[in-house]
Structure 1
Amino acid sequence: MQTETFSYNDEQFADLQMLRYRVDGFDRLSITRKKLIYYLSEAALTGRDILWDQNGKYNLRIRKTLETLYTDYPGDRDSKDFRALAVYLKRVWFANGIHHHYGCEKFKPEFSEAFFREAVRNVPADKLPLEEGQTAEELCELLAPVIFDPEVMPKRVNQANGDDLVRTSACNYYGDGVTQTEAETFYNAMKQEGDPHPVMYGMNSRLVKADGNLQEKVWKSGGLYGAAIDRIIYWLEKATGVAENGKQAEVLRKLIEFYRTGDLKTFDEYTILWVQETEAMVDFTNGFTETYGDPLGLKASWEGYANFKDLEATARTEKLSANAQWFEDHSPVDDRFKKAECRGVSAKVIKAAILGGDLYPASAIGINLPNSNWVRAEYGSKSVTIGNLTDAYNKAAHGNGFLQEFVIDDETLRLLDRYQDTCDDLHTDLHECLGHGSGKLLPGVDPDALKAYGATIEEARADLFGLYYLADAKLVELGLTPDAEAYKAQYYGYMMNGLLTQMVRIEPGRDIEEAHMRNRALIARWAYGHGREEGVTELVKRDGKTYVRIRDYERLRELFGLLLREIQRIKSEGDYEAARDLVERYGVKTDPALHAEILQRYRALHLSPYKGFINPVYTPVYDEQKEITDIRVEYGEAYDAQMLRYSRDYATLPYCNE
């Protein structure tokens, strides 16, 4: 039963806005599917502590300490320091650690270190994360530099060209003293030349030094993070008992086997089974998935979510996947890099039922998996657009004044008003369903050849694929765009974002470091620069404000095609130097004066540049025999209440995981 009132917008603080998403249609599912979603949701929430520890070795201790101060501090809770501590904690919750979820820089507390130490001394010691024999003052000595000293662990993921990316990143994927060169050498030595089916080396482990030698601590049952993984296995076993079909049950059993063994070949076997299971209504991801949090792009953060298919909206993506070969054949890239046969491409629009790990509270709106290049080539991939999240974003943004401030004229505003939501969804579909699944590596090319630039190049490749085809008459023919003008809304919004408005997410004086932001800047700036003499795109100054004007949309499409051709070449050939040159030249730096202008205009709107979600709450209903007869879904839980409940109910790891 759902609550009677619902609002998409919720709490706003710092640079963040909390939203809610609906799970319409859940109440009409069978009890078996409801139970399956519930068990998968519990599995998705149970791995929470893993991500916190991956993001930084002190995060779990800091979270517990801050939460204890938040709930038990006996002093003036209306003081400036306490209110600042509350905001800091909410930011830490949102980021799953003390570094910004997007920019990766460490948060600067607005409360004093003296207040922090005084507060820790005055809360119950038995509620603090104290090791045996440790005092509250000793805990402060350990944590205070990590929280307050800007020189200690300043970046979670450092991508600065020329730095030792491992030693200068605060993420917890590598042990003390491990260098970038050592890590790269260690994993390169594992790779077998000519192996057609390489595993993703290092994906599920921490690389540490012991007695001067490098070794992996594998994340598995009985290994590192074992306590959390055993609990995840418990819920996956429950889900296996209510699987929709035999294939889905086999998928779940293989994932459990991987969690028990940590064997990466077993992981590949699981992903193949998962890709091939396309009939079930309910689906999920659970495990070590994306590598954006590792500066070397090797080790995967933990994430999980549960979902079910939006049957009506999926008709849109099925048209794309059914025509995957046509899109591949007509791509502007060199024929050497095209797939002769597109295998196993499946796509759907889904409704997220729960978000967990690295998908919570901030979530992707589209996902394409698996990440293994050879699995994708031989067995295909699954692509999803998360429809109820995009719907929540769209409804929350309605009438907030953003477009009126940054769009150049009323004619373009009308264009965006008419087409933007449709084209945004379709660009996500093209990006995930076909973009990531397109193209191929040349024989013998190392999938990790682009190193720290690999994620940006891959996201640019998928974005460009979507941009190029949004303007194609094939989409009108398929009934996916209403007419030949619709694509212009996406082109304008993309160029405006890449050239101007995404800078609201960056602090003054900082470079762009997040892979998706680098990708958007790279594409927009490259297209602007290469079309500048022709006047394809202009930056227009009016009354002290800068706007984007696009004069030639057709030529802009040609430029997107040219860049896609080069990006695919770089990916297919593993051309590291070309990747570095493109990213560093177009995707990293910002113009300080333009940046300051955009920030000033955005602040006047009182908007938050980042948004995330509060999950719904699922409650089983039992009969007298303790059998589940229904699952209720409710939406009213407050942000802080949800985070405190998760810390209580899903605390699976010790505070120190050496």
Structure 2
Amino acid sequence: MRKSALLLMTTSLLTVGAHVATAANDEHPKIDYTVDRFADIEILRYEVPGFEELSLQQKQLLYHLSEAALMGRDIIFDQNCRYNLAIRRALEAIYREYRGDRGDAQFKALETYLKRVWLANGIHHHYGEDKFEPAGFTADYFAKCIRSLDPKHVPVRKGQTVDAWLKEITPVIFDPKVMPKRTVQSGSGDLLLASANNYYEGGVTQQEAEAFYAAMRTPNDSTAPSYGLNSRLSKSADGKLTEKVWKVGGLYTEAIEHIVDELQKAEQFAENAAQRAVIEKLVEFYRTGDLKTFDAYAILWVKDTASEVDFVNGFTESYGDPLGMKASWEAIANFINRKATKRTRIISDNAQWFEDNAPMDPRFRKKKVKGITAKVITVAMLGGDCYPTTPIGINLPNADWIRKDHGSKSVTIENITEAYDKASLGNGFREEFVWNDAEHARIDKYGFITDNLHTDLHECLGHASGQLLEGTDPNALGAYSSTLEEARADIFALYYLADPKLIELGLLSDPEAYKAEYYKYIMNGLMTQLVRIQPGNDIEEAHMRNRQLIARWVYEKGRADHVVDFAKRDGKTFVVVNDYGKLRGLFAELLAELQRIKSEGDFEAGRKLVEDYGVKVDRALHEEVLARYARLNLAPYKGFVNPVMKPIRDAQGKVTDVTLDYSEDYADQMMRYSREYSYLPTYN
């Protein structure tokens, strides 16, 4: 089961001012960061500073790793819901082929719906998990558009008529009771049957799945693979359970074969033998589907610290599975930002000090921290579950035993954080939600660096800290694992942001700087992240639960001392932090408890923390936040378009350079990807 995770960007609207532009960025041609705006979403571009200075070999390596990052695009759509590919392809056919009035309000609404499906890799919200409402166009209009198409453009099943297809698909799009949530993380019902994702089929129940994988595990096998990571669990008509493994020759082979082909091309341009071995082992895993091979690949990957170019490609994070076992397909191609990496190297070089001084029971600390490496990267291509929405930090591998015995590799993606930062300038957010001028000034001055340091500490040290007690089942926290692990890493980072050690190490220059991140975090967890929730809903997404859990817990525990308060001004609610020192003390208490829960595998205590503090929404406050946000006309969600990577060839066809083109817009990119990287059959 995953024990570390991607830290999603949540503070793009908070990071106002405080640019930290590198020299390379200052010299890089300026681009228009905002590409498109629709519904509650803003699409941005990101720059790739430093790409031009790479060697031709490195550029060619990145080109093929980037192609491999795009080859699996259909996989994440199919994983998120079994109808996603059919619906996406039908909508794209209408968008491409429809010859009626394209200025009609219903056509424009259908176009917006398609853009949302592209953004979320399916029909459910990428963050809130709820199915999109097809606002502004009717089922009759959708049927009219479909029937206007040449039947060859309608993605029917074999032998199915267009009318029969419409009868099957229309409720999936328009009936709010059909497949209402992509992933249900908690509750008294069966989590698998309540979820619309495509990790289980044939009516597999939660009890059946848990029993199936429990039977695979050997007691006290500390190096067991992550069972179920790369397969769909299927139940036949007679009740037999089998795994459909995602591999060459198995499920998703049509896309995986292309991924493998590009990885093998990339191997020819590997920077060194260690990197070549990583790629070879990943190809072997894709061919065999063997999870022990995956672990061997992960060990090679974490030990490759010399390569400037790096990548993630494969079935990695398990947020989409209510049981936290099955992984979504994701990919990133990147290279090191050497200047900014000096910051993370200082952190990783001092990892043992942070571990030894963490406010937790000494039994839960690692006696010897191994193999923690950290760097700041420049992403060159996003794919799968990392596109169009993307993390700002990564810590892998996820297996606890690999992290303990071999270490982990952490990255902060600074060209993405810079894109968020630059796009947020002057948007009016701080004036609307930040309490006073002192908080404004700190955020202006230190917001960007403390954001990045929080990510560095979260990924590099937070996820890598602590250890399980001997005999603790790494799967003991079940469906609550993702939220609790993200909370543990977040609060580890928050606690240490205020530590004098950061001043001593030269990572911060002002002992008051940490307050910028403390204020933003508490304000976000208690209030402003609620803009991402539909009225009347509870919180489902793990990162949002984690942030509310932390903020609500310290608010409740510190109420007697007024550590954090809500205050009113001009009829508006604000978060006020009255005592930053006591707030840090509360972070220490919660960190100790979160580590105990993980180390001992205390499911009931973990469940209670999440359900008591991380799930329920203050309805009145929620309504107020939504109204204030609406007046600002801000998009609470961001997505990205990738640059277009183009090989330049001479008259003999030899590649002489690889260039980046930033001119492609959102719809053009999505339609091109569907033409060029759509390998899976519509129904898998």
Common fold: TM-score over 0.5: yes
2:519 maps to what in 1? Answer: 492
Q: Determine whether 1:180 maps to 2:199.
A: no
CA contact (8 A) 1:368 1:433 kept: yes
Question: Which amino acid is the alignment partner of residue 223 of structure 2?
Answer: H
Question: Which amino acid is the alignment partner of residue 192 of structure 1?
Answer: T
Shift of 1:132: 3.1
State how far apart, in whole Å, the 2-side matches of 1:67 and 1:554 are: 54
Matched residue count: 656
Using structure 1 for the length normalisation, give the TM-score.
Answer: 0.99
Q: Determine whether 1:43 maps to 2:68.
A: yes
Question: Which amino acid is the alignment partner of residue 146 of structure 2?
Answer: V
Q: Determine whether 1:112 maps to 2:128.
A: no
Q: Determine whether 1:373 maps to 2:406.
A: no
State how far apart, in whole Å, the 2-side matches of 1:628 and 1:127 are: 37
What is the correspondence of 1:5-24 to structure 2 with a 5 Å cutoff?
5-24=30-49
State how far apart, in whole Å, the 2-side matches of 1:512 and 1:364 are: 19
Using structure 2 for the length normalisation, give the TM-score.
Answer: 0.95
Shift of 1:376: 0.3
2:585 maps to what in 1? Answer: 558
Q: Determine whether 1:453 maps to 2:480.
A: yes
SS at match of 1:287: strand
CA contact (8 A) 1:3 1:634 kept: no
1:71 maps to what in 2? Answer: 96
1:626 maps to what in 2? Answer: 653
Q: Determine whether 1:154 maps to 2:180.
A: yes
Which of 165, 183, 203 is equivalent to 2:229? 203
Which of 167, 188, 207 is equivalent to 1:141? 167
Which of 344, 349, 370 is equivalent to 2:376? 349
Which of 316, 319, 331 is equivalent to 2:346? 319
State how far apart, in whole Å, the 2-side matches of 1:541 and 1:198 are: 53
What is the correspondence of 1:393-472 to structure 2 with a 5 Å cutoff?
393-472=420-499
CA contact (8 A) 2:457 2:493 kept: yes
SS at match of 2:283: helix
Which of 231, 237, 251 is equivalent to 2:258? 231
SS at match of 2:215: helix
State how far apart, in whole Å, the 2-side matches of 1:592 and 1:503 are: 10
Shift of 1:5: 5.0
Which of 74, 80, 86 is equivalent to 2:105? 80
Q: Determine whether 1:521 maps to 2:545.
A: no
1:639 maps to what in 2? Answer: 666
State how far apart, in whole Å, the 2-side matches of 1:315 and 1:604 are: 41
Shift of 1:4: 5.4
CA contact (8 A) 1:3 1:636 kept: no
State how far apart, in whole Å, the 1-side matches of 2:502 and 2:43 are: 34
Residue deviations 1:336-389 (CA, integer Å, cap 9, x gap): 000001100000000000000000000000000000000000000000000100
State how far apart, in whole Å, the 2-side matches of 1:416 and 1:34 are: 37
Shift of 1:7: 1.2
Q: Determine whether 1:539 maps to 2:582.
A: no
2:9 maps to what in 1? Answer: none
SS at match of 2:410: strand
Shift of 1:74: 1.3
Question: Which amino acid is the alignment partner of residue 37 of structure 2?
Answer: Q
Shift of 1:493: 0.5
Question: Which amino acid is the alignment partner of residue 552 of structure 1?
Answer: D
Q: Determine whether 1:383 maps to 2:406.
A: no
1:480 maps to what in 2? Answer: 507
Question: Which amino acid is the alignment partner of residue 50 of structure 2?
Answer: G
Residue deviations 1:59-96 (CA, integer Å, cap 9, x gap): 11111100000111111111111010000000000000
SS at match of 1:590: coil
Which of 319, 329, 342 is equivalent to 1:292? 319
Question: Which amino acid is the alignment partner of residue 260 of structure 2?
Answer: I
Instruction: Let me know the Cα RMSD of the aligned residues.
Output: 1.0
Which of 61, 81, 97 is equivalent to 2:122? 97
State how far apart, in whole Å, the 2-side matches of 1:407 and 1:425 are: 20
Question: Greater CA deviation, 404-413 or 365-374?
Answer: 404-413
Residue deviations 1:24-51 (CA, integer Å, cap 9, x gap): 1111111000000000000000000111
Which of 27, 50, 59 is equivalent to 2:52? 27
Shift of 1:322: 0.1
Question: Which amino acid is the alignment partner of residue 366 of structure 1?
Answer: G
Question: Which amino acid is the alignment partner of residue 303 of structure 2?
Answer: Q
State how far apart, in whole Å, the 2-side matches of 1:246 and 1:597 are: 57
Residue deviations 1:513-571 (CA, integer Å, cap 9, x gap): 10000000000000011111001111001121110111110110000000000000001
Question: Greater CA deviation, 486-495 or 124-133?
Answer: 124-133
State how far apart, in whole Å, the 1-side matches of 2:590 and 2:387 are: 33
Residue deviations 1:236-256 (CA, integer Å, cap 9, x gap): 000111100000000000000
2:17 maps to what in 1? Answer: none
What is the correspondence of 1:187-266 to structure 2 with a 5 Å cutoff?
187-210=213-236, 211-266=238-293
State how far apart, in whole Å, the 2-side matches of 1:241 and 1:611 are: 36
Question: Which amino acid is the alignment partner of residue 17 of structure 1?
Answer: E
State how far apart, in whole Å, the 2-side matches of 1:524 and 1:592 are: 17
SS at match of 2:409: strand
Question: Which amino acid is the alignment partner of residue 204 of structure 2?
Answer: V
1:170 maps to what in 2? Answer: 196
CA contact (8 A) 1:47 1:229 kept: yes
SS at match of 1:604: helix
Shift of 1:159: 1.9
State how far apart, in whole Å, the 1-side matches of 2:32 and 2:142 are: 35
Question: Which amino acid is the alignment partner of residue 470 of structure 1?
Answer: L
Shift of 1:629: 1.1
CA contact (8 A) 2:28 2:49 kept: no
Shift of 1:445: 1.1
Residue deviations 1:9-32 (CA, integer Å, cap 9, x gap): 221111111010000111111100
Q: Determine whether 1:128 maps to 2:154.
A: yes
Classify 1:323/1:5 alpha carbon distance in 2 versus 1 (closer, same or farther; 3 Å).
closer
State how far apart, in whole Å, the 2-side matches of 1:622 and 1:129 are: 38
Which runs of 5 or more structure 1 residues have no equivalent in the other structure? none
State how far apart, in whole Å, the 1-side matches of 2:197 and 2:156 are: 22
What is the correspondence of 1:293-312 to structure 2 with a 5 Å cutoff?
293-312=320-339
Shift of 1:3: 9.8
SS at match of 2:32: coil
CA contact (8 A) 1:173 1:205 kept: yes
SS at match of 1:215: strand
Residue deviations 1:270-293 (CA, integer Å, cap 9, x gap): 000000000010000000000000
Which runs of 5 or more structure 2 residues have no equivalent in the other structure? 1-26
CA contact (8 A) 2:186 2:479 kept: no
State how far apart, in whole Å, the 2-side matches of 1:299 and 1:160 are: 17
CA contact (8 A) 2:263 2:279 kept: yes
Question: Which amino acid is the alignment partner of residue 413 of structure 2?
Answer: I
State how far apart, in whole Å, the 1-side matches of 2:223 and 2:276 are: 25
Residue deviations 1:149-171 (CA, integer Å, cap 9, x gap): 11111100012311100001000
1:577 maps to what in 2? Answer: 604
